[in-house]
């Protein structure tokens, strides 16, 4: 692989202020891409951008709720108009669940689908015209292993993660003639704030023991796969669902 194969490419990573999004941003910046660090929390976005710049990369921030489509799509149009159109979209921002079927309110359901499903769909809609013009693009949807395995007391979350796998498959077929790939990455439980919000330390330790590798995933386990899927080397991989999960799920995704 060329040393910096993504030099000159512009990437939007949603939810990039923490956890997986921060690691994905650092990995893509390490390959030379300029990163738009999108996050709802400004101080988190600033910290990710600072880490990228400290590591020798290039970044700017976009602070808003990813579900605020008017703001995000206006920003994407602005990048395009300024000659800095997006070549890479990482639909990473997501909210977790933790409620049983009988406890999910319509409001919570709608909010989760707005963040986890509606935003990825319309962000892709916004970036694809520029990618088509440049005949090159990479879209990665961050799903979850639970989209395939199921997860009790989280059916609304599981549904959102299954939805984006469907998006990747359909976009792969629709966009392949334009040099654009679309893939899904399905992490298992990864040591981030989302994980510590949904499980106690003891539960996380016990969960780690169920993994054949006897550890939780770390953000870099996921970020390295995302970076590969955005590199020129992965140009023939599209519509795929890949799970960097230490063997915790083995079989067809
Ligand atoms: N951590 C895991 O175990 C795990 C497993 C499977 C899938 N995932 C998925 O990976 C993605 C990232 O998860 P994480 O563990 O890094 O989460 P995290 O909570 O650690 O970080 C999420 C980041 O997204 C930001 N964010 C949240 N809602 C947002 C919104 N509406 N608009 C913009 N930014 C927003 C947060 O401020 C935070 O910086 C999510 O889509 C999640 O569903 C995580």
Confidence of residue 127 (pLDDT cuts 50, 70, 90): very high
Q: Is the CB of 97 under 6 A from ligand 1?
A: no
Whether 193 is in the pocket of ligand 1, judged by its Cβ within 6 Å, is yes
Q: Report how far ligand 1's centroid is from the alpha carbon of 184 (Å).
A: 15
Return the DSSP state at 185: E
pLDDT tops 90 at residue 227: yes
Kindly compute the dihedral angle of the four CA atoms of residues 92, 243, 100, 20, in this order, to the nearest 10 degrees: -30
Confidence of residue 249 (pLDDT cuts 50, 70, 90): confident
Model confidence at 1: pLDDT above 70: no
Write the pLDDT tens digit of every residue in 203-216: 999 999 999 999 99
> Could you tell me if the CB of 48 is within 6 A of ligand 1?
no
pLDDT digits (tens, 9 = 90+) for 166-207: 999 999 999 999 999 999 999 999 989 988 988 899 999 999
Do 155 and 101 contact (CB within 8 A), yes or no? yes
Would the CB of 68 count as within 6 Å of ligand 1?
no
Ligand 1 pocket member 194 (CB < 6 A): yes
Residue closest to 98 by CA, chosen among 242, 229, 181, 199: 199
Calculate how far, in angstroms, residue 128's C-alpha sits from the geometric centre of ligand 1: 23
Phi–psi pair at 240, nearest 5 degrees: -95, 160
Find out whether 236 and 211 touch, Cβ atoms under 8 Å. Answer: no
Q: Architecture of 10-242 per CATH?
A: 3-Layer(aba) Sandwich (3.40)
Is there an atom of ligand 1 within 6 Å of 163 CB?
no
CA-nearest residue, atom 23 of ligand 1: 15
Q: What is the pLDDT of residues 3-25, one digit of tens each?
A: 899 999 999 999 999 999 999 99
Which residue among 19, 35, 147, 204 has the greatest number of ligand 1 atoms within 8 angstroms of its CB, and so is best to mutate? Answer: 19
User: Tens digits of per-residue pLDDT, 141-164?
Assistant: 999 999 999 999 999 999 999 999
Percentage of residues in the chain having pLDDT higher than 90:
93
Ligand 1 and 147: CB distance under 6 A: no
Q: Which pLDDT tens digit goes with each residue over 50-63?
A: 999 999 999 999 99
Taking residues 97-119, report their average pLDDT.
Answer: 97
Using a cut of 0.95, tell me whether the model's pTM lies above it: yes
Pocket test for ligand 1, best of 14, 21, 164, 244 (most atoms within 8 A of CB): 21
Q: How far is CA 207 from CA 143, 195, 216, 234, in A?
A: 19, 11, 8, 32
Look at residue 61 and give its three-state secondary structure.
Answer: strand
Letter string b/e over residues 201-240, b meaning 16 or more CB atoms within 10 A of that residue's CB: eeeeeeebeebeeeebbebbbbbebbbbbbbeebeeebbb
- Quote the ligand 1 centre to 221 CA distance (angstroms): 15
Residue whose CB lies within 8 A of the most ligand 1 atoms, among 192, 204, 253, for a mutation test: 192
In whole angstroms, give the CA distance from residue 245 to residue 87. Answer: 27
Q: Taking the domains of the chain in order of start, what are their residue ranges?
A: 10-242
Backbone torsions φ then ψ of 12, nearest 5 degrees: -105, 120
């Amino acid at each position: 692989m060329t040393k910096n194969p993504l030099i000159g490419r512009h990437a939007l990573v949603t939810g990039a202020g923490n956890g997986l999004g921060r690691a994905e941003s650092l990995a893509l910046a390490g390959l030379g891409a300029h990163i738009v660090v999108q996050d709802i929390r400004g101080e988190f976005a600033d910290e990710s951008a600072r880490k990228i710049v400290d590591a020798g990369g290039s970044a700017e921030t976009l602070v808003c709720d990813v579900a605020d489509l008017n703001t995000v799509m206006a920003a994407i149009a602005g990048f395009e108009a300024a000659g800095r159109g997006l070549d890479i979209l990482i639909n990473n921002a997501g909210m977790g669940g933790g409620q049983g079927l009988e406890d999910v309110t319509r409001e919570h359901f709608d909010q989760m689908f707005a963040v986890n499903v509606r935003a990825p769909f319309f962000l892709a809609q916004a970036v694809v015209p520029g990618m088509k013009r440049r005949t090159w693009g990479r879209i990665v949807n961050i799903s979850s292993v639970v989209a395939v395995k199921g997860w009790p007391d989280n059916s609304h979350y599981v549904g959102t993660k299954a939805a984006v796998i469907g998006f990747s498959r359909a976009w792969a077929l629709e966009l392949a003639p334009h040099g654009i790939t679309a893939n899904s990455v399905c992490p298992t439980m990864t040591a981030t704030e989302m994980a510590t919000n949904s499980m106690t330390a003891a539960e996380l330790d016990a969960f780690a023991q169920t993994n054949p590798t006897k550890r939780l995933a770390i953000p870099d386990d996921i970020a390295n796969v995302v970076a590969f899927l955005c590199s020129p080397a992965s140009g023939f991989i599209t519509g795929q669902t890949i799970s960097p999960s230490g063997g915790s799920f083995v079989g067809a995704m």
